[in-house]
Amino acid sequence: MATCHAERGCIVKRSERYEQALRSEQPRECLTAVVRDLVTKGGHREAILIELEDLRRILQVEGRDGDEDVVLEVMDFLVGFCSPQMRI
């Protein structure tokens, strides 16, 4: 099972946390956990959404279609375009 490091006490740049989540065995679940952790700790949804959109563009240019799909899905969770139980 993949380890999601959303709760680690160390300071890691958000972009590094996103990449770590995408490299995990369960990228959607791990990226969701990272974003949920950021929101829970007071992160502004709009700022996180902008970061995820920037990441999505990079992934698109790099041809990482699977990772781009994961980011798009987590963005949907963040804005509420999903079932109620998946909302962040």
What would the pLDDT profile of 18-65 be if each residue is shown by its tens digit?
999 999 999 999 999 999 999 999 999 999 999 999 999 999 999 999
In this structure, are residues 48 and 39 in contact, taking their beta carbons and an 8 Å threshold?
Answer: yes
* pTM as predicted: 0.85
- Identify the burial level of 29 via C-beta atoms within 10 angstroms of its C-beta, where 0-12 means exposed, 13-18 middle and 19 or more buried: middle
